[in-house]
Amino acid sequence: MNMRELDNTTSKRRTFAIDLQHLRFAVAASECGSLRQAAERLVVPHSVLSRSIAQLEHLVGTPLFERSSGGVKPTLAGRGALRIASLILEQVDSLVETGRSIGGGKVGRISLGLCTSISAGNLRATLLEFRKRFPQIELAALERSRLRLMNALRDGTVDVVISPGRLASAGSRTLSLWSERILIALPQNHVFATRDAIYWTDLRSETVLLSRYDPGRELEDLLVSKLLSPEDRPKVEWHDVSYGIIKSLVSMSLGVSLVMESDSGASFAGLVYRELRDGVGSSRIELSAHWRPDNDNPALNKLLDLLTERYPSPSPPLGE
């Protein structure tokens, strides 16, 4: 081994011997301008702090402080070394805080699969409350068909899916949340627009525009369940477009449409919403949350805790 290699090896050994206590004691001494005051602030014996700084100076290979009866003052080399020491300590503190926060679910990311609107209603209120409680957790929303979202849930690319109805999926858990009223979207000049509520039987002569996207099929199933006789059912037109375009078509007086209550927050010029009822009151669809029990994302647990807190269920989640 030549002299250069020997010097490098000795330098590395000295570096490995420096610990965080050396750095904290030296930074405190610099900030206080006195070893005694630094020792009092850190609640350690003066001799322990003085010895630690002397060890650090030995390991660095140069004096870091000028000592006098008035206290201590960093040397030129000491000022540079102490700047680096402060940065290291800040990074270590940040590392510890980040680890604790992620482990406790205070920071992180949740991939949220949606096939329902968040323009109004309980889901919107829940997400706003979640953001208020956990501002450092990123909520990444993904809107797809229920089939695609459940596939994403199975392969782990989505943490939780919130959708109308209970979706059967092997290996996932389901938590019943809330139910939403079904509304009818009407052109503002429609004869029904003057009513507070409309009955399913009133739809017989109407053209109902539905999207092939979720929850279109569920809305059709509900319509069929309410109007058992084909003769009592309205004409249904299917469109391969989003519900935003369906609403535009309704505002153009090309028909009416069925929407969930959470969709009523999206206002469109020339369009109004009215409640749909049957003989016993409003018609509703239940929403549920679906997730994999082996998902160890701490942030997901925070969201599930909030959902359980806001919408307690009398029975345990499916899949348990």
Domain segments of the chain as ranges: 3-103, 108-177+286-310, 180-284
Q: Which CATH architecture has domain 108-177+286-310?
A: 3-Layer(aba) Sandwich (3.40)
For residue 318, the model assigns a pLDDT of 44
C-alpha span between 25 and 228 (Å, rounded): 81
Separation of CA 82 from chain center: 39
pLDDT score of 47: 92
Would you identify the CATH topology of the domain 3-103?
A: Arc Repressor Mutant, subunit A (1.10.10)
Task: Give the pLDDT score at 63.
Answer: 93
Query: What's the pLDDT score for residue 233?
Result: 92
Q: What is the pLDDT of residue 102?
A: 55
Q: Which amino acid is at 190?
A: H
Q: Can you give the pLDDT at residue 314?
A: 52
Instruction: Note down pLDDT in tens along the chain; length 320 residues.
Output: 444 544 445 554 555 578 889 999 999 999 999 999 999 999 999 999 999 999 999 998 999 999 998 899 999 999 999 999 988 887 777 666 655 555 555 568 899 988 877 777 888 899 999 999 999 888 888 887 888 888 888 888 889 999 887 666 667 888 888 888 999 999 999 999 999 889 999 999 999 999 988 888 888 989 999 998 989 899 999 999 888 899 999 999 999 999 988 888 777 788 999 999 988 888 888 888 999 999 888 889 999 999 999 988 654 444 44
Determine the distance from the C-alpha atom of residue 106 to the mean position of all C-alpha atoms in its chain, rounded to a whole number: 10
Evaluate whether 3-103 and 180-284 have a shared fold: no
* Nearby residues of 24 by Cβ (< 8 Å), 6 or more positions away: 42, 89
pLDDT of residue 15: 54
Domain 180-284 fold: D-Maltodextrin-Binding Protein; domain 2 (3.40.190)
